[in-house]
Structure 1
Amino acid sequence: MATTTGNLKCKNLHGFLKSLLPATLTKLYSHPATCLAVFRELPLLSRHYIMRLLFVEQPIPQAVISSWVSQNVIKQKFEAVESLCELHIWNEAPTPGGLPGWLLNPTFRKNIKIALVGGGQTWEVCAPLDKDKKTRDIQFLDSYAMDRWECVLHFMVGSQQSHEGISADAVRILLQAGLMRNEETETNPLITTDGFQFLLMDTSTQVWYFMLHYLETVESRGLHLVECLTFLFQLSFLTLGKDYSTEGMTESLLIFLQHLREVGLVYQRKRRSGRFYPTRLAINLASGLKDNSLDVHRPGYILVETNYRVYAYTDSQLQVALLGLFCELIYR
């Protein structure tokens, strides 16, 4: 299911991928990281079918596949088959005897096999690197990621920190996503109703929603959607606190890396540094994990009196700015 807050819908990985053309999906499935990321997001029964068909290179009758599980789970069987069809992981094909059958997408089968049982070329980002003389620990990366992401949120609420660190590119995504709008009488964009709903989401959902709209603009930027998506999936398998080399990256990927850097998904000391650190925001993005340890909604208290006075107890500058959108701040 897609995450929904009011009228704002955030498609999950499955929902996004099924909106892509079959040819685009097949290109994505040419990389083991993509196949594994998709595999772990599938319903349990879909994964069961894939494992049973992993080494089978000819169509299997649909009736035979249906008999592999109890007839009491009709709903689960329908969802499993629908998921595999929507993502073009398998396709209908006649068996040698002429019966309707299912056949795994050969590109997907080849690369999920590599991801699960090994073989083929190394598919992780693991070019050898000398030890970083200015290594960054997990605590630093967590702090950096949220500082960068909060720049986006501060801009949305129009706080004093609103122009510190946010790029023009990120502002364009906010406008394109309908989270902010330009007004002729205003110097800066204003937050929209969808933008208010966006601010109330947990951090991982916010980042995913933002990246979905970014990916919709990838090709208009001259970047390659499949290349960028594949790299995002690779990031979800990397180790937090470890640095990785940019050696061998195309110019398109290096530009994409800078866009990720701007919103806190990766850390680079310098723009042309030969190494980068993935942050928790990137690793959790397509990993299927619901890790809210970096959630910007920090603990605090709000008291509302019958005379409509509001008292807030928080040390978050962002939460104070958010309250300022709904209340007149008299004193702090």
Structure 2
Amino acid sequence: MVQPNFSNPRKAQAELSSSSTAALDAFLDTQHQSYYEEIYKSEAACLCILRQLPEICRYIILHFIWSHQPVKSSDLKALLRMDQFSPLSQVANDIQPAIKRKIFQPLELQQGKRGHHTPMNDVFKRGLRNALTGSGTSNSFGLPYPLSPTDEYPSESQLIQFGDRTWESILKYMVSSGLDRGFPVARPETSVLRLLHSSGLMADLSESNGRQQSLDRMTITSQGFQFLLEDRQTQLWQILVFYLTSIESRGISSAPVLSLFFSLGCMQITQSYSLSTFSNPTQLQALDDLQSYGLIYRPATPSGAKADYFFPTHLSTSLCSGNSALSAALNTTEIDTSHGGTGTGVGMGSGEDDKKFLILETNYKIYAYTNNELEIAILNLFMDIKVQYRNLVVGKLDRAHVKAAMEKGISAYQIIAYLQSHAHPQMYSSPPPILHTTIVDQLHLWDKERNRLRTEESEMFEFFSKDLYEDTEAEAKRYDGLLLAVPKDKLLFVNPSVKDAIKDFVKGQQRQLRGM
């Protein structure tokens, strides 16, 4: 058996923290044991959680999944080829991601006669075993729905086109609200607008003036602009986590809905699935809402009612597989644009190569090979568009447009990351880095122009005695609380945290002077 290399497990954990599921990871980190016990009843959830763990944790779990005994620290050290005298903290750090997901318990709490050990969560163990062997009765991987000849059966390309068109219509609505000259877009469902408002991605600025909130007056926020520059997978998980949070804000457990998300992540794109598997009311409501985001397609019956089955789109089937799976799903089919599609562009189902459409020259000129309205609108946030052809947009990075984008909350790092992640393959033919250092440095300089002044809360002390001023200045430095000293005017500005200590010192010095 070939064992993976675990020479640098910390690197794998660092990569996980910056993954597209970072929003989900942060959400799960706040949940209690009972929440995990609920979602681990789903075999699909156990499999998806396993996929999200670092390689070293997956290796350990799969090695001990069939064991009926607690996992000993000595066995872990042997498995990871560690010295038996290695500190316990080193082993604990390697399994920490699994401990956070309540799969293992902390080693320090399970000391027995034969050394430290940790039991594996029984519910998770049973669920993962069922997932690996195809047993179990929860139907968490979906129950196929037998279609009749009269039932609608969309093709894979149609499902991909529906998912992309629906999701991008939401993003277009967001970006259009932040442009001086927007473009005509369809209004998303009311439930979608409510979630965009509660998540802080869009806001009604007139609320601060005492006017009643209106979803039709909402504009994109700085957080929303940052959201637009994220990759597709990160955007999806952020929205889904906002959805889970909105459920919990009503005092309802979100565990059944998260289990539903994991189930969708394990389904096949062209397979029809029955709704009977999901009997929880919050799950049924979530399925209705997910169609508004393009994650599922639920046909209508001839009478106009919604069918008892649905089709997952590529947006949902790739939830637990990362960006590579999303790209693979897009690469397997050619999108038909003859029925209202928007042609080849980023995220439009033409494959990973079409996400690489930007050429940036050292003179700050940008050539964008796309006709996608959303991508053009995003570029318009920080780029001065000069010419627009059918499949080509020519523009330039300039100070005015970049600073306008930064005023809306977009940072230099996000612009740089966006340009790098969408760089045309031609830009990789030059020696690294992809973006010329002159451009990167200039973007950072423009960003720093906004931060020339720094505001800090402070307490001001004014003195008439030079001796008292100098003694107090020395005392403030001793507390490491001195922010600014103005000897000419005998003024001291100190951190509010040391205010009381400085006041007591000044009073003590004044009493001594009076006593003299």
Quick check: which has more Rg, 1 or 2? 2
Which structure ranks higher in relative contact order (CA pairs < 8 Å, sequence separation ≥ 6)?
1
Equivalent residue for 1:322, pick from 378, 381, 385:
378
Does residue 103 in structure 1 map to residue 119 in structure 2? yes
Work out whether 1:126 is the aligned partner of 2:143: yes
Bigger mean CA offset, 56-65 vs 92-101: 92-101
SS at match of 1:67: helix
- Aligned in 2, Cα 1:94/1:198: closer, same or farther, shift over 3 Å? closer
| Contact 2:196–2:202 under 8 Å retained in 1 | yes
Report the residue type matching 1:235 in the other structure: L
Q: Which runs of 5+ in 1 are unaligned?
A: none
Residue 328 (structure 1) shift: 7.1
Deviation sequence 1:274-317 (CA, Å, 0-9, x none): 111100000111234532447257565577897x9987653112
Corresponding residue for 1:178?
A: 200
2:41 matches 1:26: no
Change (3 A) 1:303 1:69: closer
1:64: Cα distance to partner? 2.9
- Structure 1 CA distance for aligned equivalents of residues 28 and 64 of structure 2: 22
Q: Could you say which residue in structure 2 is the equivalent of 1:152?
A: 170
Structure with higher helix content:
2
Three-state SS of the structure 1 residue aligned to 2:205 is: coil
The separation in 2 between residues aligned to 1:289 and 1:131, in whole angstroms, is 34
Q: Measure, in 2, the Cα distance between the counterparts of 1:13 and 1:167.
A: 24
| Mapped partners of 1:207, 1:249: distance in 2 | 21
Q: Secondary structure at the match of 1:104?
A: coil
SS in 2 for 1:277: strand
After TM superposition, the structure 1 = structure 2 runs for residues 1-332 of structure 1, keeping only pairs within 5 Å, are 1-3=16-18, 11=22, 13-71=24-82, 77-91=91-105, 92=107, 94=110, 97=113, 99-121=115-137, 122-131=139-148, 133-158=151-176, 159-162=182-185, 164-184=186-206, 188-220=217-249, 224-250=253-279, 251-270=281-300, 272-290=306-324, 291-292=326-327, 293=330, 295=347, 298=355, 300=357, 314-326=370-382
Structure 1's 284 and 310: CA in aligned 2 closer, same or farther, altered over 3 A?
Answer: closer
Identity %: 25
How far did residue 141 of structure 1 move?
A: 0.6
* Letter aligned with residue 104 of structure 1: M
| Equivalences, count | 326
| Separation in structure 1 between the aligned mates of residue 94 and residue 252 of structure 2, nearest angstrom | 33
* Deviations 1:220-241, CA, capped at 9 Å, x for gaps: 4575411111111111111111
* Letter of the structure 2 residue corresponding to residue 62 of structure 1: S
Normalising by structure 1, report the TM-score.
0.84
Q: CA deviation at 1:201?
A: 1.7
CA contact (8 A) 1:151 1:161 kept: no
TM-score (norm 2): 0.56
Q: 1:289 to 1:328 in 2, by over 3 A?
A: closer
Shift of 1:83: 1.1
How well do the aligned residues superpose, as a CA RMSD in angstroms?
Answer: 3.2
Q: Which amino acid aligns with 1:34?
A: A
SS at match of 1:70: coil
Cα distance in 1 for partners of 2:69, 2:362 equals 70
For 1:203 and 1:112, how far apart are their aligned partners in 2? Answer: 28
Unaligned runs of 5+ in 2: 1-15, 177-181, 331-345, 349-353, 389-516
Q: Counterparts of 2:386 and 2:321 in 1: how far apart (Å)?
A: 44
8 A contact 1:304–1:310 mirrored in 2 = yes
Pair 167,3 (structure 1): closer, same or farther in 2 beyond 3 Å:
farther
Residues 233-264 of structure 1 deviation map (CA, whole Å, 9 limit, x = unaligned): 11111111111111253332221001110000
